[in-house]
Amino acid sequence: MSQAAGYTAHPVFAEESLVDVEIHLATRKWKLLGPAGVKRETALIPAECLKPRSGYLPVFIGSGTGAAIRFFMQQYEGPFAVLDKEASITALTNIKKDVQERAGALWVDSPDLQTALKELTNWQLRHGSRALKAIINPAWLRLDRDFYATVQQTVAASEKFDFWSKVNYPRFQQNSPRILLITSQYFLMGEVVSAFKRMGIEYELLSLGDDAIGQNEFVEHLLTAVIKFKPDFALTINHLGVDREGILMELLERLQLPLASWFVDNPHLILYLYNKLVSPWTALFTWDADNLDSLKQLGFKHVFHLPLGTDPSRFVPSKKLAQQHPLQADVSFVGNSMVYKVAQRMKAGRFPASMLREYKQVAAGFSRSNERDVRRYLKADHPNVLAAYEKLPEPEQRLAYETMITWEATRQYRSNCVRQTLIFNPLIVGDKGWQITFKNDRNKWRSHKELSYYSDLPWFYPLSAINFNCTSKQMKGAVNQRVFDVPACGAFVLTDWRYQMDELFEPQKEVAFYSEPKEAADMIRFYLANPSARNSIASAARKRILNEHTYEHRLQRLIRNMQQAFG
């Protein structure tokens, strides 16, 4: 047996092949195997890997001369991977280029073992998490045994471990389901966890952490949680945890694990960037009933209306505060001016001047329109802007423009509404953009920095005779959080009318509203002069909320919908 560079040629190769690899590397020459050698190298390929419906994902560990892989590519049309970090050898065989040009094929050449295995795992997930099947070139074990042997063991473990039998357990067998909660820093997560505890619902927290959504560690934690906790379904807020490439959606389909995604912001501004949107194992819940038809038009089968609510353990009537509390007010407003938010979207979008010249007019028209979708509004009323919008090269830019228009519409509407309160010397709690908004107004008003939703607002709301509210233009028919939180504290809220409000409260008995901004001043004047009317509405609203609009009620409905759809 010939030897070179301290290695011994393996008997399954033509005797001269490995010697030729090693001797001629320095001279950049490559002596291809003869017919007998090709036959021996291709004999490394297990017969089951060539079957079109084998169920395996073949993984070549070491590319050899490339003969076996080229033969394999002629016989097999499915996905496969090659893991080979020996750049000096693959540069001679040119097999890497052939593999990379093949659809569904993956070439892994990272010299870092963990990085290489992560690439392989992500590829496996993209192809339904099918078992890997190793096709090992023995010569590569000699090149770097620690590296390639570890890869071989990992692939072998994938083949032997019967993962799918462990996750193929019956769902929804108990009255109370087990829920895998994909957690984040979004404000609603605390309310959901608190409600689950009060309801006695078994749940497992799967944290996104600080890394980008869809990272391999997150997927690994998901699979571990499925095996150990055996949830009936997963729950996320605003699609958090769902990667844009669709890997998680494909994995959940393979697991047949239903996903409930509760949108409490405009879903179209969130789903815009996702490649794989629709899955039969996904149910969408939206706080705005206006989104139901448009989400169904995207192809989602399970779409439900689920309004916001309140946490009755957090928003409770507060004890009497000092009579002269510095934040007491006849009228107060809590909210963002949207001045800086609009500017941030404008900067992020890098829009051409033609789109910026009339963005305020576009936003004003969108605000008045009944249209909920910015793109459809542009098509109907601003075709010239639509043409520029469609020429934007990146989807992130188009999303930034839609968001900018929505927020600018909100900024204009909100400033118009809040301006009606200025004659009452209101307390405005929010960002410094309010100073810019009302810098030329002669009326006196007080300002305060933003307050914490969790630790401050429950005691702040009862300090005001009237908590003034106006809704974002991303929700033209739905109500926001404040309509539930303020009465839950035993306080009074005056809000702008939204037609979905009538399904939640009895108008003017359980909720006070103004239909147009110009009506707000008269409504404020009336309720300031009639504290008994304020107290009556606040009391009736709180009773209704505790009976029908807490997060326990919302999650009970979500669970019923999931059981009916997937049970």
Length of the chain: 567
Strand partners, 262: 237, 285
Strand partners, 464: 329
Q: Read off the tokens for 481.
A: 């959080």
Helix axes 247-255, 113-126, angle to 10 degrees: 60
Output phi, psi for 467, to 5 deg. Answer: -95, 110
Q: Are 447 and 433 in contact (CB under 8 A)?
A: no
Instruction: Give the closest residue to 489 by CA, choosing from 271, 302, 311.
Output: 311
Q: pTM of this prediction?
A: 0.75
How would you class 557 by CB atoms within 10 Å of its CB: exposed for 0-12, middle for 13-18, buried for 19 or more? middle
Distances (CA, A) of 83 to 31, 99, 108, 399: 22, 11, 5, 38
* Half-sphere CA count of 124, side-chain side, radius 13 A: 25
pLDDT at position 436 is 96
pLDDT at position 74 is 86
Q: Using CA atoms, how far apart are residues 132 and 81, in angstroms rounded to an integer?
A: 10
Output phi, psi for 33, to 5 deg. Answer: -65, 150
Q: Are 61 and 132 in contact (CB under 8 A)?
A: no
**DSSP assignment of 332-369:** EEE----HHHHHHHHHHHT--HHHHTTHHHHHHHHHHS
Q: Per-residue pLDDT tens, the chain, 567 aa: give them.
A: 233 333 233 333 333 344 343 333 323 333 334 444 445 555 555 655 555 545 788 999 999 888 889 888 888 888 999 999 999 899 888 899 999 999 889 999 999 998 999 899 888 877 767 788 888 888 898 889 999 999 998 888 877 766 666 777 889 998 899 999 987 666 788 899 999 999 999 999 988 655 444 456 677 778 888 888 999 999 999 888 777 777 778 788 888 899 999 999 888 888 876 766 788 999 999 999 999 999 999 899 999 999 999 999 999 998 666 567 899 999 999 999 999 999 999 999 999 998 999 999 999 999 999 998 999 999 999 999 999 999 999 988 999 999 999 999 999 999 999 999 999 999 999 999 999 999 999 999 999 999 999 999 999 999 999 999 999 999 999 999 999 999 999 999 999 999 999 999 999 899 999 999 999 999 999 999 999 999 999 999 999 999 999 999 999 999 999 999 998
Q: Using CA atoms, how far apart are residues 23 and 13, in angstroms rounded to an integer?
A: 16
pLDDT at position 449 is 96
Q: H or E element: which one contains 302?
A: strand 302-305
Instruction: Give the closest residue to 490 by CA, choosing from 455, 535, 557, 520.
Output: 535
Q: Read off the tokens for 264.
A: 């409490």
Determine the Cα angle at 259 with ends 257 and 265, to 5°.
170
User: How would you classify residue 66: left for phi > 0, otherwise alpha for psi between -120 and 50, otherwise beta?
Assistant: left
Q: Using CA atoms, how far apart are residues 557 and 210, in angstroms rounded to an integer?
A: 31
Q: State how beta strands 446-448 and 105-108 pair.
A: unpaired
Output phi, psi for 427, to 5 deg. Answer: -105, 120
Q: What contacts 292, CB < 8 A, 6 or more positions away?
A: 286, 303, 304, 305
Instruction: Give the closest residue to 242 by CA, choosing from 281, 188, 293, 286.
Output: 281
